Structure 1
């Protein structure tokens, strides 16, 4: 019997690190970011659409009710939690160009790797929105990020900036910064997005992610005139988070609250 039939998966055995080129590693990571971004946003968009279409009530001004906002927030937060936990070994589980920028600026991700991940994330968001638009009833436009009545463009930019800064800083401290809690980082990251979504869905749509906003606009073939804020705001938030991360690292933050990662978790005040 040919060797290939005796051991059909022989060629898929893990090879020594030196045998895998840097380009191959970047390609594998980019594939993981495409698949991860697609899965994260596909299920989030489906949950978002269902929550809006099946809403039993609306807000006083005709917008989504508080109950609908909670459902929408859960769709994004839990989808990110599960998908990041599944694929973080493949690509790091970023699924967001703003997170990618923050990690590059903070020095926790090589710029070349970031250049590979960025287009994969954008493409994943576009494919997710297009398939949701094709596969379920209801317009994909309901998932588009838009400003609430009375919310100015300037307010929208800075609101998105602060929402994104929390998410990116959570990623940097729980995932990029290795500790005894790193293995459960996806839980904290998913909860961070959930909290940000609750705060922001009504006011700006709570994008925090250019790929999340760009995909539905492409699928719906409709861009609001202020669409640019969903790029500028998240990127500014990523820069703020990366800047503070570098600041606390430069000052050896571990010494300010020593013992937090020890087995006993003891506190030393000296």
Structure 2
């Protein structure tokens, strides 16, 4: 079971140069991702004078997030692994691929990257609000929770299959493309219901800047549960007890 490989890490890990570089890479990748993804929604609102979301707007959101995540994962892959998502980091931790201390460092960097991206957007757009994630009409918190669990399961399962599995071979650019595609596809499926976050940091930045916290817990609990289930399922049934690569922090 992957639980047996969970590592806490050492006290010096948080200040190790490689860990700090990885955290910086996560910060920059998250900033790139949120700025483009959240910015596309703000641009849509400006073009439509804050009109109702249309199918074209949903497709545009899915496309912008898919492209931005492809880039964000790609530019961070060789430094931090390109998590760009606290839920992905949590899944990696459960699989023994990152230590707890390094994971916390990633979380801090990811959350800060999202907040800074939203602040930059607010400044660059002349004070336009970065809209917080919210549930659509007739969508309950439990409906949204299921959406977030299932969508994030698909995302983290894809991450494991294309980027973590030691048997993946040389997938090269395929992993970031697949990860971007599943996020774009999930936005098409769930965007009209709860915004399709799949990423606590993506929800956190707009919530902080707009100071809107309605049902915010859904966008944490759902992704973390989905990520945890995906990590345990993939690691247990498809990686098993085989020796696989772990991030250097587990060796400190």
Normalised by the shorter chain, which TM-score bucket? 0.7 to 0.9
**Deviation (angstroms), 1:112:** 2.6
**Correspondence for 2:159 among 166, 171, 195:** 171
**Deviation (angstroms), 1:111:** 2.3
Instruction: Tell me what 2:245 maps to.
Output: none
**Correspondence for 1:198 among 180, 188, 196:** 188
TM normalised by structure 2 equals: 0.84
Determine the C-alpha separation between the residues in 2 that align with 1:237 and 1:138: 35
Instruction: Tell me what 1:107 maps to.
Output: 96
**Deviation (angstroms), 1:249:** 2.8
Determine the C-alpha separation between the residues in 1 that align with 2:50 and 2:105: 43
**Deviation (angstroms), 1:181:** 4.3
**Deviation (angstroms), 1:57:** 10
Say if 2:202 is the partner of 1:212. yes
Q: Which has the larger radius of gyration?
A: 1
**Count, aligned residues:** 227
Instruction: Tell me what 1:89 maps to.
Output: 78
Say if 2:54 is the partner of 1:65. yes
1:37-186 map, 5 Å: 37-55=30-48, 63-137=52-126, 139-142=128-131, 144-178=132-166, 179-184=168-173, 185-186=175-176
Say if 2:21 is the partner of 1:28. yes
After superposition, the Cα gap between the structure-2 partners of 1:87 and 1:218, relative to the gap in structure 1 and judged at 3 Å, is same
**Deviation (angstroms), 1:75:** 1.2
TM normalised by structure 1 equals: 0.79
* Structure 1 residues not aligned, in runs of 5+: 1-20, 254-270
The answer to which structure, 1 or 2, has the higher relative contact order (CA under 8 A, 6+ apart) is 2
Task: Judge conservation of contact 2:153–2:229 (CA < 8 Å) in 1.
Answer: yes
**Correspondence for 1:231 among 220, 231, 240:** 220
Determine the C-alpha separation between the residues in 1 that align with 2:35 and 2:56: 21
Determine the C-alpha separation between the residues in 1 that align with 2:60 and 2:206: 19
Determine the C-alpha separation between the residues in 1 that align with 2:35 and 2:230: 27
Computed over aligned residues only, the root mean square deviation of the Cα atoms, in angstroms, reads: 2.1
